[in-house]
């Protein structure tokens, strides 16, 4: 292994809902260091999911869990050829990908406020549809297609 192994930074839960996943989404939505704006957007989208805060948080976490991939492909160079090798994901990596895909798919929609776009994407993800779910399915499909190279993951 090259260089030193970096230490994992501990993420603090957000002050309102006490959830680390919400903190991740807020940090991903945030642009130019405007955290309070990002918090307004994310909390607004979550609270629109349900009037009850606990139920809204449960729906939000369910949506993120639905987006989380189980496998991804990684490029591995073996004997001059590059193979797409399917690898299982750790929970942190899967959650990071899910949050990134969620925010990216919300941002890609045009012409509406971010809060509305994020709310739509969250409700779609909770129901198992939407662009973020499509991205997860594409990732799983690619891993399945390259299953023949799975033995390279162990070498």
d(CA 61, CA 122): 9
pTM of the model: 0.92
DSSP state of 148: G
Q: Kindly indicate the confidence band of residue 2, based on its pLDDT and cuts at 50, 70 and 90.
A: confident
The answer as to whether 114 is a domain residue is yes
d(CA 73, CA 112): 34
The answer as to whether 145 is a domain residue is no
d(CA 52, CA 58): 10
The kind and range of the H/E element at 149 are: none
The answer as to whether 55 is a domain residue is yes
Q: Residue 33 — left, alpha, or beta (φ > 0 → left; ψ -120 to 50 → alpha)?
A: left
- Helix-helix angle 114-126:91-108, to 10 degrees: 130
The answer as to whether 149 is a domain residue is no
Residue 1 has a pLDDT of 65
Q: How many domains does one find in the chain?
A: 1
pLDDT in tens, 101-148: 999 999 999 999 999 999 999 999 999 999 999 999 999 999 999 999
Looking at residue 29, which CATH number applies to its domain? 1.10.455.10
């Amino acid at each position: 292994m090259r260089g030193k192994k970096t230490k994992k930074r501990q993420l603090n839960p957000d002050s309102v809902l006490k959830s680390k996943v919400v903190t991740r989404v807020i940090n991903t939505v945030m642009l130019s260091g405007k955290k309070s704006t990002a918090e307004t957007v994310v909390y607004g989208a979550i609270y629109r999911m349900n009037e009850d805060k606990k139920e809204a948080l449960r729906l939000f976490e369910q949506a993120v869990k639905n987006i989380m991939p189980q496998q991804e492909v990684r490029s591995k160079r073996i004997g001059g050829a590059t193979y797409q090798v399917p690898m299982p994901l750790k929970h942190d990596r899967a959650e990071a990908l899910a949050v990134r895909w969620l925010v990216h798919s919300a941002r890609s929609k045009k012409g509406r406020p971010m809060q509305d776009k994020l709310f739509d994407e969250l409700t779609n993800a909770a129901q198992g549809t939407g662009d973020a779910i499509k991205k997860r399915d594409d990732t799983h499909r690619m891993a399945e297609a390259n299953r023949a190279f799975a033995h390279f993951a162990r070498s």
